[in-house]
Structure 1
Amino acid sequence: MSSYLECNARERIARVFDAGSFEEFLPPSARVVSPHLAQLDAPVSFDDGVIVGRARLDGKTVFGAAQEGGFMGGAVGEVHGAKLVGMLERAVAEQAHAVLLLLESGGVRLHEANAGLIAVSEVMRAILGVREAGIPVVVLIGGANGCFGGMGIAARCANAIVMSEEGRLAMSGPEVIETAHGVEEFDSRDRALVWRTTGGKHRYLMGDCQRLVADTVAAFRAAALAAIADAQGHAALTLADLEAEQAMLARRLERFGGESEPLQVWKRLGVPDPARIPMLDAEAFVGVADHYRAGAG
C-alpha cells in the first residue's frame, strides 16, 4: 500500500521507519488501557490508540509514535498522553537522533476531558524538552482525521511539520466552529471550504507546515529525513524564535484578518488565479507556492 492516508497507524510505522526496526513500548499485549473508558462502559483499545517506541530511520536510532485514527478519532486520554510523554522523555534519556510523530487526532476525548487536557499539556512540554536537548522533532500529518484540538497545538511545538494535501491542521475542527458560531461562520459540510481552510495546501502557503508532499508513504519518509537533517544543530526553541513567531502572527492578522476565506488570502499573497490552486498536484502546487508563501509572514 503506497497511500499514507489509507494506512492505519501500524502500517505507517512499518513503512515509514526502516523495515523491521520498530521496537514497541507497551504493546497491546501489555493491555495498558484507559480506566476512564471502562467506567463509562465505552470500548477500549489495548494500545489506547497510540503506538510508541524506538526504531531506525535511514540507519539512525530515532523514537516515534503513531496515533490510530480508527480508535476514537485518535483522541487523547490519560494513558494515550502518558505513553507519548514517556516516549519523548526516553528519547532524551537515550539521546536519540530524532523524534518522529505520526499524528492523527481530533483532540481530547470528551470522556476524559480534564485528564486529556492535562495529558496534552504534558505532551507539549515534553516536545519542547526534546528540542531543548538538541533532538529534532518532526510531525507527519496525512490521516483522514487530520490533526485538531490540543494535538494541533502540540504539532506546532515541533521543529517541522510535513503534510499532504489530504492532511488537515487546525485548533478547532469545522464541526466545532459551526456548533459554536453557526453555519454562516463555517459550513462544515462544504468539503472544499474545509480543505481550503485547514488542508495542507493552505497550511503550506501560510507557513504553518514546512513541507508539502504527495499522499505516499515514500514521500512522507523522504520529507521526514530532509526535515530532520535541516533541524540538526539548531533543534532547540529560543526566545528569538518565539519573538519572531509572535511578530509573524501579528503581521498575518493585520494583513489577512479581514478576509473571510482562503481564496481571498491567496489572492492577497499575489497568487495568480487562486481558484486553480486546489486543482494542482503537490509538486506543481509547491512550484507555484514557493514564489508567494514568504509573503504570509
Structure 2
Amino acid sequence: MSSYIESTARERIARLFDAGSFREFLPPSARVISPHLAQLDAPVSFDDGVAVGQAFLNGDKVFAAAQEGGFMGGAVGEVHGAKLVGLLRRAITEPVDAVLLLMETGGVRLHEANAGLIAVSEVMRAVLDARHAGIAVITLAGGANGVFGGMGIVARCTNAVVMSEQGRLAMSGPEVIETASGVEEFDSRDRALVWRTTGGKHRYLLGDCQMVVADSVAAFRQAAIDAIAACRRQSTALTLDELEHEQAMLGERIDRFGAMTDPLEIWSALGVEQPDAIAMLEASEFVAAVGAHRIGGR
C-alpha cells in the first residue's frame, strides 16, 4: 500500500489513474515557468509546481491536476493558476466525465502577490463555470501541506471533497492564525489541536468533506471512482437550492458551535460517543462510529 501523503504529485498521478493513461498538457519539457520567480532570482520549476493533463480512471475519461507540495508548498502563482484555469476551461469545450484536483497547497505564492491572488480567483470562477456546464469537479486532499488559503475556498466550491485524516483543509493555516491573533488564540505547535481543527475527520463531521479515506493512493482512487458515480446520479451545477442549503448548514454550525473553542466540544455536541477516541480510529472505523452524527453536507 503506497502512502498518499508520502507520494509526490507525479507519483500520485501514476498510481491513482489507469496505468499509463496520463497525457500531460504543458509538460516540464515545455519549460513554461513563472517570470516573477526568475526576476527575484528564486528557484523555478519547469512545471511551476503543478502537473495538468488527461487520464482515464476506471475507464472514465478525466482531466486531472496534481499540485507538487515539494515546490514552494504547492503555492499558486500566475502560471500555476493559469494551468489550472486552462484545464477547467478545456473540460467545458472537450467534455470529460470529471475534473480531479489533487490539491496540496498553502495558498497564494507570496513571491507573486497580486498575480497569485488573481490566479486563485480565476480558478474559483473556472470551477463554477465547469460545474455550470455539467462537469463534475472533485477535490482530493491528502498531502502534507494541506489545502489552505484561497485554494481552501476553491476546494469547497467543488462538487465533492475527499480527504484523509492526514489531509488538512482551512482558509488560514495554523501559523497564520497564530501570527495574526497570538498563540493564546491558536498554538500552531500543538499538532493534535491542528489536526483536530483542520484534519479530515473534523471536516467530515462538519460537512465540509464528503468522504474520509485511509492514507493510501488506492483508497483515494476508489473514492474518486465513487465520487464520479455519485455525481452522475445528481446535478453537478451550483444551483440556488444548493446555495441555500449550504447557507443553512453554515448558520446551523454557528448557532450550535460558535461559542466552542475546541473540536472535541463540537464532536461531543454532535452526539459522538467517546470523542477523545476519534483520533485513534482508522478511517473506516471512524465513518462507522460517527454514523449519522455528522452535519449534512452538500
TM range (shorter): over 0.9
Matched, 1:54 2:54: yes
Q: Which ranges of structure 2 fall in alignment gaps of 5 or more residues?
A: none
Q: Which letter maps to 1:264?
A: E
Equivalent AA in structure 1 for residue 173 of structure 2: G
Give the letter aligned to residue 272 of structure 1: E
Alignment of 1:169-208 (within 5 A): 169-208=169-208
Task: Percent identity, please.
Answer: 73
Aligned 8 A contact 1:269 1:295 in 2: no
In the TM superposition, what is the alpha-carbon distance from 1:294 to its structure 2 partner?
Answer: 3.3
Matching residue of 2:261? 260
Q: Is 1:283 the counterpart of 2:284 in the alignment?
A: yes
1:291 is displaced (CA, Å) by 2.7
**AA partner of residue 207 (structure 2):** G
Q: Distance in 2 between matches of 1:42 and 1:177?
A: 26
Give CA-to-partner distance per residue, 1:11-35, whole Å, 9 cap, x none: 0011111110001000000000000
The residue number in structure 1 matching 2:274 is 273
SS in 2 for 1:290: helix
* Aligned: 1:118 with 2:118: yes
* Secondary structure at 1:253 match in 2: helix
Query: What SS does structure 1 have at the residue aligned with 2:188?
Result: coil
Two-structure CA RMSD over aligned residues (Å) = 1.1
CA distance in 2, matches of 1:115, 1:88: 19
The residue type equivalent to 1:74 in the other structure is G
Give the TM-score, by structure 2 length. 0.98
- Deviations along 1:203-250, one digit per CA (max 9) or x if unpaired, are 011110000000011110000111111111411110110111011101
| Letter matched to residue 239 of structure 1 | L
Superposed, which structure 2 residues align to 1:40-189 within 5 Å? 40-189=40-189
Deviations 1:143-164 (Å, cap 9, x if unpaired)?
0000000110000010000000
Paired position in structure 1 for 2:247: 246
Report SS of the residue matched to 1:235: coil
Moved more, 129-138 or 286-295: 286-295
Shift of 1:295: 6.9
Runs of 4+ displaced beyond 3 Å: 294-297
Q: Write the distance in 2 (CA, Å) between the matches of 1:27 and 1:41.
A: 22
Residues in 2 aligned to 1:240 and 1:113: alpha-carbon distance in whole angstroms: 35
Amino acid at match of 1:76: V
1:296 and 1:75 mapped to 2: Cα distance?
Answer: 27
- The question of whether the paired residues in 1 share the 8 Å contact of 2:142 and 2:163 is answered with yes
For structure 1, the residue ranges without an aligned partner over 5 or more in a row are none
* Structure 1: distance between partners of 2:97 and 2:285: 32
- SS of the equivalent of 2:162 reads strand
The residue type paired with residue 161 of structure 1 is V
TM normalised by structure 1 equals 0.98
| Distance in 2 of aligned mates of 1:291 and 1:155 | 24
